[in-house]
């Protein structure tokens, strides 16, 4: 069985889930909806359950939401990302590093970011999708420093950013972030 191509999104609230589901439909991918949109009382998928869902979908790429719900310590989101990076049969083709206001995050360097205006920049962005100096900051992004990823794309708050990424508009900012990763992946294979 060929490897499943997986994109990680470091967010998972209800707005992010709706935006990622919409963006996946726009780019002909599939979101594992059970990986996001959790409320505090919801049960969490184990890494094995998540991989089984990834491998069962006929779509490619597959997008997985990994979130810590604001916890700056290593939690569920980071553990899932580390587990996915170690699985045979899963190829991580990129990550969308979602900004948050979490204090204490060491952050991650991004290759590109999508601003709330829809432009592409080499700078990080904040939760509102505005370019900022330094690293992309968020409660689940630091783990991306520890795994091998071909591309990391910074993004503000999916589905929000002062209505710029609203699902009623087709979640255009999240769509563009996923498309950048897919284009990078396709180009890597064309050139390599």
CB 82 within 8 A of CB 92: no
150: how many CB neighbours lie within 10 A of its CB?
14
Q: How confident is the model at residue 38 (pLDDT cuts 50, 70, 90)?
A: low
CB 3 within 8 A of CB 132: no
- Choice between 105 and 100, residue whose per-residue pLDDT is larger: 100
State the average pLDDT over residues 45-69.
Answer: 88
Backbone angles phi, psi at 120, to 5 degrees: -100, 135
- How many domains are contained in the chain? 1
What pLDDT score does 135 carry? 95
pLDDT tens-digit map of 59-78 = 889 999 987 665 555 677 88
* Two structure tokens written together for 180: 């950048």
- Choice between 43 and 141, residue whose per-residue pLDDT is larger: 141
Q: How confident is the model at residue 106 (pLDDT cuts 50, 70, 90)?
A: confident
What pLDDT score does 189 carry? 43
pLDDT tens-digit map of 130-175 = 999 999 998 889 999 999 999 999 999 999 999 999 999 999 999 9
* Two structure tokens written together for 134: 């330094």
Give the global pTM. Answer: 0.92
What pLDDT score does 39 carry? 55
Sort 73 into a burial class: Cβ within 10 Å, 0-12 / 13-18 / 19+: exposed
Res. 36: pLDDT tops 80: no
State the average pLDDT over residues 105-109.
Answer: 89
Domain range enclosing 30 = 4-191
């Amino acid at each position: 069985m060929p490897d499943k191509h997986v994109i990680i999104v470091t967010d998972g609230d209800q707005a992010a889930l709706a935006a990622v589901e919409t963006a996946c439909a726009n780019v002909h991918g599939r979101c594992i909806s059970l990986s996001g949109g959790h409320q505090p009382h919801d049960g969490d998928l184990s890494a094995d359950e998540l991989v089984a869902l990834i491998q069962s979908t006929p779509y490619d790429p597959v997008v997985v939401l990994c979130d810590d719900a604001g916890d700056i310590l290593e939690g569920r989101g980071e553990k899932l990302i580390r587990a996915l990076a170690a699985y045979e049969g899963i190829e991580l083709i990129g990550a969308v590093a979602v900004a948050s206001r979490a204090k204490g995050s060491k952050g991650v360097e991004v290759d590109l970011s999508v601003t709330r205006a829809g432009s592409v920049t080499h700078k990080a962005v904040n939760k509102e999708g505005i370019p900022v100096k330094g690293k992309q900051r968020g409660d689940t992004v630091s783990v991306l420093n520890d795994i091998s990823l071909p591309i990391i794309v910074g993004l503000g708050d999916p589905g929000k950013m002062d209505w710029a990424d609203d699902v009623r508009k087709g979640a255009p900012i999240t769509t563009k972030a996923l498309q950048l990763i897919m284009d990078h992946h396709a180009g890597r294979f064309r050139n390599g």
